[in-house]
């Protein structure tokens, strides 16, 4: 029986660069409340994700899952393409 290795974080983002081989840059957009003023503020994070088949292209919505470090900056992998770019 396989042991559970802990909860892996999963999120959805938009591909902003696909110029590398087997790697895409994904922008994760989230909204959070401003600490002082209480207004909702948009924050974005850019992460590098592993795309083994090279299926992702600019503008695609992708589902990411956290994984072991694959390189100096890659800690995510593409699980599926949620929506294609128009």
Residue 20, C-beta contacts closer than 8 angstroms, at least 6 positions apart: none
The residues spanned by each domain of the chain are 10-83
**Hey, what are 68's tokens?**
């072991």
Q: What is the pTM of this model?
A: 0.88
- Tens place of pLDDT per residue across the chain (86 aa): 556 667 899 999 999 999 999 999 999 999 999 999 999 999 999 999 999 999 999 999 999 999 999 999 999 999 999 999 98
Q: Give yes or no for a contact between 65 and 75, defined as CB atoms under 8 angstroms apart.
A: no
* CATH class of the domain defined by 10-83: mainly beta
- Please tell me the distance from the alpha carbon of residue 11 to that of residue 15, in angstroms, as a whole number: 13
CB atoms within 10 A of CB 51: 22
User: Can you tell me the distance from the alpha carbon of 10 to that of 74, in angstroms, rounded to the nearest whole number?
Assistant: 15
């Amino acid at each position: 029986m396989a042991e559970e290795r802990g909860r892996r974080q999963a999120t959805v983002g938009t591909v902003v660069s696909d110029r590398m081989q087997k790697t895409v840059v994904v922008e994760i957009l989230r909204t959070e409340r401003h600490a002082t003023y209480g207004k909702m503020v948009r924050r974005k994070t850019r992460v590098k994700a592993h795309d083994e088949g090279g299926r992702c292209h600019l503008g695609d919505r992708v589902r990411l899952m956290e994984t072991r470090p694959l390189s100096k900056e890659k800690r995510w992998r593409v699980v599926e393409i949620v929506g294609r770019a128009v």
